[in-house]
Each structure stands twice: as C-alpha cells, then as structure tokens.
Structure 1
Amino acid sequence: MKISLFYEFALPRPWVPDDERQLFQEGLKEVEAADKAGFSTVWLTEHHFLEEYCHSTAPEIFLAAASQRTENIRLGFGVMHLPPAINHPARVAERVATLDLISNGRVEFGTGESSSVGELGGFNIDPADKRTQWEEALEVSIRCMTEDPFTGFKGEHIQMPARNVIPKPHQKSHPPVWVACTRPSSVQMSARLGAGALSFAYTGPGPLADRVRGYYDEFENACEPWLPELNPNILAIGGDLSMMVAKTDEEAVKRLGLGGGFFSFGIMHYYMTGQHTPGRTGVWDTYLDAVKEDDTLAYGPGRGAIGSPATVREFLRGYEESGVDEIILLLNPRSHEGTMESIELMGKEVLPEFIERDEAARAAKAKRLEPILEKVEARRKNLVTPAFDEDYAFGGLPTGRGGSFTASEIPEAMAEINEGRVQAAQRLKDEAEAAQQQ
C-alpha cells in the first residue's frame, strides 16, 4: 500500500493579510519534506468559492512549484473539475501536459464533476448536466493529449474544431487517469472505464475491503476501456484519515488541535446542510460551536494516522490488509511545525516497512493482472472520432456577428510595428549617408 498526502489548504478565519502566502509557502516546505520522507504522492484538490474550507483553487500552480523542489513524489490532481465552464478540456490538456513535462512525468490526472452549489451555481452549471459534461470533457482532454492533431468534437456541451493541442505529456500516451468516487456506484463506474478510483472511505478498513474486491471484480468482468492507458488502482481518502504523528499519542492529539474534523464539517456545510453568505459566514466559528456540543467532531479514536509512530503503524496496517492500493492522509488545519515533525517521523519510523511491502505487492499484482488485462483489452471499445480533413486550415482576421465585426487590434499593432521598422531603416540610411559626407 502506498501512503500519500492530501491538501485542501483550509484557512480558518480570522484572516490577516499574510495568511494565504504563508499557507502556500508552508505547504511547499511540507511537500519538500514529504518527498525526502518517501511519501508516494501529494494530491491537491480543486475547489472554488469554498472559503475557509478550501483555498486550493489553482492546484496546477502549486504542483508546478512543488515539482521544482522535489524529485520523486508524484503530483496528483485530486481532482481537477472537468465541466468546461470551469476548465475547458483543451486547457486541461495543456496544463496537465505542461506539468507532466516540467516534473519529468510525475502527474496523476484525477478528474471529477463538481458537486457543491457554490461551485456549480458560481459557474452557472446545471447539476443535471454535470455527469455528461464530465464524460465529454474527459474524452476531449485525453484526445487533445494524444491526437496529432486533435480532429474535433461536437457534443451536447462541448464543440471544438480541429487543433493541434500542445505540448504533449511526457507520460505516454497520457498520465494515469483517476475518477473521484463518493459512492460505491461511482467506484464501479471507474472500474468499467479502466480508471483509478479516488474513493472516499468513511467506514474504516473492514468495509473498504468489500469495495476493493468490488472494484477489481468489476474491472475484470465489465471493463470496456476506451482510455489509451489503463489505471487499475483504488485508493482511500476520507474525513477520518487525518495525519499527525508525534512521539506520544497525547502530543499528536494536542498538535492536531481542533482541526481534525473540519474536512467532514466543511463537506456538510458546503454540500448539504449549510447556508452560506459569501464573505460573511464564519465556517470555522460555526464548526467550533458544533464541537462544543459534540467534541467527537474534532477527534475520536481511530480517526486517522494520529498518534505515536507505533499507533500510526498499527492504524495503517488495518488499511493495508483491506487490499487498497493507496491511502491518502489528509492535512486538516493544524500546526505547521507539528506537521514537519510528523512528516519526518513518518519517514523514519513508519513508511519504510510499507514501502518495502508495497514493492513486493506491486510485483505480485502485476503478475496477477496479466491474464485479466488480456481479457479487458479484448473488450476495448474504439472511440468514433472524426477523420482529419487534410484540406482544413484556419487563418485570417477573427470576424463575428455574421461578418459585421472584425477584430482590428492586430492589424493596428502590426501597422505600428511596420512603421517603426521603416523609420528605423530610414534612420540607419540617414546615418550612413551622413557618415559618408564626413
């Protein structure tokens, strides 16, 4: 089982002017330490307008910075929202490929639909359309990464003509694809697609074992892939998977503070029961009030990799026994200094045994999947894509409104450039003539 980190970049109020800069700078230091410690992947979510709960609105920017401070840790979108009003699929392909190139092929391409009123409403997306938008956008973004040129697409939500989308990713044909899965049915869907399942698991390692078996049964028996590259993997993430490791259990709980339950509370607030006034509602204050009523919201036994190295090792072994391929440990609001020590202790006293066992487990899994992959590939569905019209070309000035509008800024700029070139040439000529006369 791989062990990874997950960032939402929560930032509780009250805020002071330097808070967000400090939040990201501390995060970069933590990821650099996690790379040295041996964590498998750092996963960043993407959310918009969910103040206090998540300030990770441009994960590709943070991951790009992290890529230049690390060597081995993989860089995961957990997830990138694919509805085209949020991220156009051509831009998705460009950003994922660029990050893959500058990181030397370390990107994990996690995808999702978006689920909150704040985000869907903020981008004027009808919730009834979000699944079909995700389906179209995933196809287009993957084709943009792999086709030379992309031959075009006409769907219900996305229409795009032929273009050669550049650059292309370092990982061929494309980085591993993952799907956000909040329900067992979406885990099954990801298996049928042949993508990895980013599975939210709130029920502990016992029930997770059934979910893992269900994923691989569905992959073997029902996967009809169209993705060029398969990614048969399932990982676990959840509100009860926080991380804080210290020399003693008591010190770990103290360093985590009250932040351990903020992820789950934020989900309830923004996705289900809360009413939010932008720039006014105090989410952290509301959370603290709830904790006063029920202190188990903040921390409870067995809720994450929280405690001494011995306690954390035992906790993680339970998930390892479930058969899950990877577990993501969430960094809720907590002490940065405590987190740095936590990462160091994980690297020295917890991760080595899991890394060693994971190497053997991956080799055994690859052997076990060989005949299954043959069965799956035999069911492969070829996408029906437009043939490229070799006579097609684009060019000239942009026009619109039935030809009544023509964008003129470039001709005007070019005329100014040409005038400058003519004047410069004339000055040189004049100077040369003046020199001859002397």
Structure 2
Amino acid sequence: MEVVGIRFSLFYEHQLPRPWDDGQEQRLYRDALEQIEIADRVGFDHVWEVEHHFLEEYSHSSAPEVFLAAASQRTERIRLGHGIVQLPHQVNHPARVAERIATLDLVSGGRVDFGTGEASSGAELGGFGVKRADKRAQWQDAIDAITRMFVEKPFAGWDSPFLTMPPRNVIPKPVQRPHPPLWVACSRRETIHFAARNGIGALSFSFVEPEDAGVWVDEYYRLIESEECVPAGFAVNPNVAVVLPMMLHRDEAIAIDRGIDGAHFFGFALAHYYGNTPHDPGRTDVWRQFQERRAARGFSREQIIANARSLNVNVGSLRGAVGTPDQVAELIGRYEAVGVDHISFVLQAGPNRHEHICESLELFGSAVLPRFAEGREEREAAKAERLAPAIEAALARRAPAREVAAGYRIDESAEVARARRARRPSGVRPALATTRNELRESARRRALKAVHQFVGNRTDAQLERRFGAGAQRLFFAGMARAYDPSVKRGFQGELEFRLSRADGVTLAWTIAVCDGRARSRPGPAQRPALRISTGTADFLRALSGHTNPAALIMDGRLKLTGDTELAPRVSEMFGGPSPY
C-alpha cells in the first residue's frame, strides 16, 4: 500500500470512574472542551465524540451533538466527528439524525464528519428494545434513508420493515454537499470489509499493531476499487482510522505512570460492557472491579515498564501510544507506512488527569506533529487522483436521488393511518412473540449470572473438577438447544471445542449446524469450520467475564484454528455465554 498523509484526532468517551462527587460530570465536560481548544490550536485534524447510553463509568456521552456544538464555537479549524451515531430506529429516528447532523454542520461552518454504528452492548440494545439480529439491517435501512434526506428536495418518503415515513422536506440541509463524510464503527476484519463495500470510512476500535492494520488497509482499498463497492451515501469516503490510547512525556517512565491506568481501564471497561460480565445498573462498580481483576483480565500494570526502544501496542497487556515523543512518532510512522489514513488518540480515559492530558497535547503539537506535515497534501492529492475512476464507477452503481410524485400534499389522517398499518404485526400474535423473546432473554441472563457465580474465586483445580465430562455434556447440549437460526448468516458446518486440563487430559466437543438445527456430540469434528482450544478453567473464566479472551489469545492460552471470523458470532448463534 502506498504511503499516505496521515491525520490525527482525539477520541472521547467521557469516562468517569467511580466514586463520583457533585459537579464531577460538569468538570469532565468543561475539561474536555478546554482540551479540544488546545488540540485545535496545535494542529489536530479531528475530534471524535461517541454516542453511548447507560454505560456507567465507561461513557457518560449520550448527547454528543450538544457537546460538539459547544466545541464548534470554541474552535476554528478542527473537524467534528459525530461518531458514532447509533442508527437503530428505536434509538434515533432517521429524520432526527439528518436534522441534527445538518444543524451541527451549519453552526460549525461545514466541519462535521458523520460516524455511524449499529450499537453492540447489551445495555443499549436491551435498553431500547433493539433485536440484535436486526441491528445490521436497521443500520443499512437508516443510512440509506438519512443520506437521501440530505439530498432529496423533498425527501420522497420511506416504507421498510423498520421505518414508514411520508414525503417531507427534511431541513436544514448540510453545508457540505452532497453530505458530510460518512464513517462506520468497525471492531473486526469483517466490518472493515463491510465499510469498504459501502464506500465509507472505517473507524477501527481494535487495538491492532501496525503490521496487522496494514493487512486490513490492503483489503479495504481492494474492495473500494472493486465492483463490490456500492456506496451507502452519495459520496465515497475512502479512509481507514485506528484508535489508540496515548499519553506523552519526554521521560518514558512518567508517561507510563500518567497514562497506563487510563489505557487499561479503557480496555477493561470496554470488555465489561461488550462481553458477558454481569452488570447491575447503579450498583456495579466497574473501577473497583478493574482494580481487583485487571491482571487476570490481561491488563497487568507490572508488564508495562520503561525499557522500550520501539512501542508495541500490545506487549503482555495493552500499551498503545504511551511513551516519549520519539517512541510515539516511530509508532505513527509504522502505521503511515502501511497506509493507515487516521490515528485517533484516547487521552481522556479512566483516572487520567486533565493537566497531564493538556501537557501531552502541547507536546504532541510541538514534537510529533511537525514530523508528519511535510508532503501530506501532495500524497493525499495523489491518492484522490488514483481512486477517482473507482469512486466514479462506484457512485454510478448507487441508486440515484428520487423525486416526489407530482401533486403530493400533506394529509395527516391518511399518513397516520398508513403508519399505524405499517406498525401492526402480522402472522404471529404480538403478545405471544413478545413473551417468547422475553423468556429467551431472561433465560440467557440467568445462564450468564449462573456461570459467573459458579466460577467465582475458584482455583483451576476446583473448576476442572466441577466442570468434568458430565457437566460439559450438559453445557454443550444446552448451547445446541439455544441455537437461533435467524442469526446464522448462512453458516453451516461444525464448531469444535477442545478443553484441556492440568493433568494433560483434553476433551473435545462438536456442535454441528445443518438444515436450521444444531446438535452437540462428544469428540472432535471431522472438518471443523472453527476450532477453539483452551484450558477448561480459562474457558469458564472467559464465559463468565472474569477473563478477557483477547488476553488469553495474546498469552497463547486460547487458540483459534480455521475461520476466526466465526468466533465473535458464536454468542449470537447460540444465545448465551461464549468465549467471545
């Protein structure tokens, strides 16, 4: 991949570990605005602000459009990344999203980037009643409708399984034409491909080494330039961004002391809400759990020491870009060399202090940014010229803007009646369907809680003794019974689980998916699509949320063989605990 001019941004979750005191959230927002003013002055290109709901301590950022509007009035040039806007219709009505993005673009003078996502945490999906199996389809439906609201005058209306809306002129329109650049949140290789096929920027939230990121970049641009790219919007935004924790100081030990707890809390809290860890709203203390369990979850403080000539993002545990200006510049250069377009740095994380964040931003602006400025505009122009024919061909494949039928007039009674008909369920009785879904979800939560309590503080030997062949047989039979064919996404084949014990004994179990059913049996698979190999105790701790599966992989204690992209889907297919 050609070297491109790399750009830099700040990424905000608005993290606030417990304990809280009066006025702390207000100080958090005030400090963040001050940090963004510094970033604007020293030369950062973007600031990204997330949208999350109900994720205590991890993200107190539920109305990013308000925060970014405030930031727009305190800055002059930095672009405002609204990312990600959650697009399931129960969370945000598409017309309201289009209105907010356009308004923010107006008040900022055309500086908005429109980041989108499906939502993945159980707290958010369950809180808004979004079915996990529908969220990708809802994203595709919403992004198509929203981009049409930006360009159609008037919007010609919508009729889908998720949204019924009559023609309306959705105003205001954005400054940037046809609309602000589009991005989508990505956490896996498959979603990087999804971004490319939709012609939008990939905001990667996996903490990957530069060399691994280079593979993703090559695949992304291959798809952007292929016939598979059919833009989700009316413009193509070919960019790949990675996110890294960061803290700078000229003394490496001081940088680590100031920033590593924040970096580790970010990763720990992310796993807490996006894994299977039980959470009681208003009561679970994520910061306390982090302090007690960080090493077991793969965030060992002791493994990060000041002796690195070259930074690795993951070295025993997550480090990211925590170090000296020379170390961070060398890491950035490796990302730039493999074609990464943007790096977004997380400084406001965990207990990181405001004054240290401000010092890091000033130091980055004076000692790191100038090293990457020369020739950036020329390299970006060359990239745009190379991609221009592919982008033109991709946009030709996108269905054009529509026009409203002549003479259409607003008719409240008819439009409300049409919307009611669209919302009325057909086929299965609504009460029965709701009851079944609630029972399934309730059973899933009970299973998660039971596994969590079963593991507790037991030793490896205790877990191996209690989770023997008989208990494993029941467990995998239960997984097969919980199989949900509606989320298999075309998968048919065998999944093999190999669970080893300290005495050298390994038990293998197979779950076979075929013809809409799943069956479990003891023994290895003949041709496994995916083999998961780990220790019995590690398997249980990953299931229960006591251990981070990524840490087990990095330590070589969990091995995936075959189609590794299936791994994150195991939980979706079997509706319960899985190591992913």
Query: TM-score, normalization: structure 1?
Result: 0.86
Of all paired residues, the percent bearing the same amino acid is 46
Match of 1:269 among 250, 272, 289: 272
DSSP 3-state at the match of 1:388: coil
1:207 deviation in Å?
A: 0.9
1:398–1:320 CA distance, 2 compared to 1 (3 A): closer
Please list, as runs of the form range in 1=range in 2, the aligned pairs for 1:152-301 lying within 5 A after superposition.
Answer: 152-221=157-226, 222-237=228-243, 241-291=244-294, 293=296, 296-298=299-301, 300=304
Is the alpha carbon distance of 1:146 and 1:375 closer, same or farther for their aligned partners in structure 2, counting shifts above 3 Å?
A: closer
Which residue in the other structure is 1:358 paired with? Answer: 376
Q: Could you list the per-position Cα deviations for residues 209-233 of structure 1 after superposition, in whole angstroms to 9, with x for gaps in the alignment? A: 0100000000111212352111111
Select between 195-204 and 96-105 the one with higher mean Cα deviation: 195-204
Tell me, what secondary structure is at the counterpart of 1:164?
coil
Post-superposition offset of 1:293: 4.9
Contact 2:48–2:81 (CA under 8 A) maintained in structure 1: yes
Determine the C-alpha separation between the residues in 1 that align with 2:188 and 2:225. Answer: 20
Distance (Å, rounded) in 2 between the aligned partners of 1:293 and 1:391: 63
**2:216 partner amino acid:** R
**Residue aligning to 2:390:** 372
> Which residue of the other structure, out of 399, 417, 435, is the alignment partner of 1:382?
399
Q: Are the aligned partners of 2:36 and 2:71 in contact in 1 as well (CA < 8 Å)?
A: yes
Alpha-carbon distance, 1:401 to partner? 13
Q: Which moved more, 1:367-376 or 1:281-290?
A: 367-376
With over 3 angstroms needed to count, the CA separation of the structure-2 counterparts of 1:228 and 1:398, relative to structure 1, is: closer
Provide the secondary structure at the position in 1 that maps to 2:262: helix
2:128 to 123, 132, 142: 123
Q: What is the match of residue 101 of structure 1?
A: 106
Q: Structure 2 CA distance, aligned partners of 1:162 and 1:310?
A: 56
Q: Tell me the residue number matched to 1:323.
A: 339
SS of residue paired to 2:81: strand
Question: Are the structure 2 counterparts of residues 134 and 398 from structure 1 closer, same or farther at C-alpha, using a change threshold of 3 Å?
Answer: closer
| Amino acid in structure 1 at the alignment position of 2:234 | P
Matched-pair contact (CA < 8 Å) for 1:179–1:196: yes
Distance 1:348 1:381, change over 3 A: same
3-state SS of the aligned residue for 2:75? Answer: coil
Q: Give the alignment of 1:5-44 within 5 angstroms.
A: 5-44=10-49
* CA deviation after TM superposition for structure 1 residue 151, in Å: 1.2
Tell me what 2:329 maps to: 313
Q: CA deviation at 1:140?
A: 1.3
Tell me, which stretches of 5 or more residues in structure 2 are unaligned? 1-5, 305-310, 313-318, 420-580
Q: Distance in 2 between matches of 1:6 and 1:262?
A: 15
**Structure 1 residue aligned with 2:155:** 150
- Work out the CA distance in 2 between the residues paired with 1:205 and 1:226: 28
Aligned partner letter, 2:127: G
CA root-mean-square deviation = 2.3
Q: Which moved more, 1:72-81 or 1:258-267?
A: 258-267
CA contact (8 A) 1:313 1:350 kept: yes
Query: What amino acid maps onto 1:9 in structure 2?
Result: H
Stretch deviating more after TM superposition (89-98 or 283-292)? 283-292
1:70 aligns with 2:75: yes
Deviation at 1:172, TM superposition (A): 0.6
C-alpha contact 1:162 1:388 (8 A) present in aligned 2: no
SS in structure 2 of the partner of residue 5 of structure 1 = strand
Q: In structure 2, how many angstroms separate the alpha carbons of the residues matched to 1:101 and 1:72? A: 14
CA separation in 2, counterparts of 1:283 and 1:226? Answer: 37
Query: How far off is 1:375 after superposition?
Result: 3.5
1:320-376 deviation digits (Å, cap 9, x = unpaired):
112111011112221110000100001111011213243232122122213333443
Does residue 344 of the first structure (1) align with residue 344 of the second (2)? no
Asked if the contact 2:188–2:206 (Cα under 8 Å) also holds between the matched residues in 1, the reply is no
Q: CA deviation at 1:180?
A: 1.1
Instruction: Give, as a single letter, the amino acid of the residue that structure 2 aligns with 1:242.
Output: P
- Preserved contact between residue 52 and residue 62 of structure 2 (Cα < 8 Å): yes
> SS at 2:275's partner residue?
helix
Instruction: Work out which of the residue numbers 41, 45, 51 in structure 2 matches 1:46.
Output: 51
What amino acid is the match of 2:394? Answer: V
More displaced, 102-111 or 261-270?
261-270
Q: Which moves more between the two structures, 198-207 or 170-179?
A: 198-207
Normalising by structure 2, what TM-score?
A: 0.66
**Alignment gaps of 5+ in structure 1:** 403-438
**Could you tell me how far apart the structure 2 residues matched to 1:386 and 1:148 are?**
8
Query: Which residue is equivalent to 2:94?
Result: 89
Distance 1:220 1:204 in 2: 25
Measured in 1, the distance between the counterparts of 2:235 and 2:167 equals 23
Residues 304, 315 of structure 1: 8 Å contact kept: no
- For the Cα contact (< 8 Å) 1:201–1:208, is it kept in 2? no
Offset of residue 16 of structure 1: 0.0
Q: Residues 232, 293 of structure 1: CA spacing in aligned structure 2 closer, same or farther, 3 A cutoff? A: closer
User: How much has 1:395 moved relative to structure 2?
Assistant: 5.8
| 2:277 alignment partner AA | G
Aligned length: 399
Kept in 1: contact 2:154–2:403 (CA 8 A):
no
